[in-house]
Amino acid sequence: MSRVIETLRLIRVVNCLMASVGVVVGAEMTWSRLTLWGPAAAAIAAFLICAAGNVVNDLRDVEIDRVNRPDRVLVRQTLSRRYAIALAVVADFVAVLLALLINLFVATTAVMVIAALLWYNMRLKRIPVAGNMIIAGLGGLTFITGGLAVDPAVALYLPGPIVPAVFAFLFHLVREVIKDIQDVEGDSHTGVRTLPQVIGVQKSLSVALSLFLILVLLTYVPIIAGWYGSYYKIITVYCVDLPLLLLLILLWGFPTPVMLKVTSLSLKAGMALGILALLAR
């Protein structure tokens, strides 16, 4: 039982579930006819690819995590490196097989995402901003993948999965900057160059706040265009935009470790509430 729990910790199961939910939401926003097989298989594939990416990330970052994340599974050695490698390979293999059974568009997307995650973990993570952009882009792509699993011909129509994809991209980008600020000490000891190391913590917080302001403005577009109803407006504006904007302003003024942790967790919760707003639209 402990092996199962440690495996769930290794793959970061909550992140994987959020990737799956993103696919399902993207599919729901595309449905012209009810079809369950494609979205379900794509959601499982997204879970597996996310899991493999997280495992590879931990395999590459053991030394960094000794400083930044000493509670990580591979740092504590509760699971072996051989087990972790086998888990990542099998997860990616099964994900590609599932994607091939859906359609060529989803299969191509799956292969591209796996390649992008490998590139990120092997190289881009150590290049300021580039790695953040990749992770943010992949976060948004889960919604597009859901649309592709239903009907590739309309997956990019407005309003559709492209709307939450843009929101998710900016959300992830803000959170990536916050996480880089949290990890400055460990990254600097292992030669990883991130945005806070290049321009400083305060300027990085200004970047994060500016990006979130852009996101807030964009969340009003569906309201103005009449795409979504009052539930979307209430949840998005009053439960996500305003509280998180206030929190980021407070963080900008008081960038303590506790505030950074609270903000990072709040942004993750905000993503979940944003998905709820889209489902309740």
List the helix and strand counts (H, then E) for the chain.
16, 0
- Angle, in degrees to the nearest 10, between helices 130-150 and 13-28: 50
Residue 202, pLDDT score: 93
In eight-state DSSP terms, residue 32 is S
pLDDT at position 34 is 67
Q: What six digits make up the tokens of 259?
A: 């505030």
User: What is the per-residue pLDDT for 232?
Assistant: 94
Please tell me the pTM assigned to this model: 0.91
Structure tokens at 188: 């600097």
The tens-digit pLDDT sequence of the chain (281 residues) is: 688 899 999 999 999 999 999 999 999 999 866 678 899 999 999 999 999 999 999 998 887 778 777 888 888 888 899 999 999 999 999 999 999 999 999 999 999 999 999 999 888 887 888 889 999 999 999 999 999 999 998 888 988 999 999 999 999 999 999 999 988 876 666 667 788 988 999 999 999 999 999 999 999 999 999 999 899 999 999 999 999 999 999 999 999 999 999 999 999 999 999 999 998 87
DSSP string, 215-255: HHHHHTHHHHHT-S-HHHHIIIIIIIIHHHHHHHHHHHH--
What confidence score (pLDDT) does residue 2 get? 85
Q: What secondary structure does DSSP assign to 19-30, as a single string?
A: HHHHHHHHHHTT
| pLDDT of res. 108 | 97
The DSSP annotation for 113-167 comes to HHHHHHHHHHTGGGSTTHHHHHHHHHHHHHHHHHHHHH-TTTTTPSSSTHHHHHH
| Burial tier of 252 (Cβ tally within 10 Å: 0-12, 13-18, 19+) | middle
pLDDT number for residue 124: 84
* pLDDT (0 to 100) of residue 55: 95
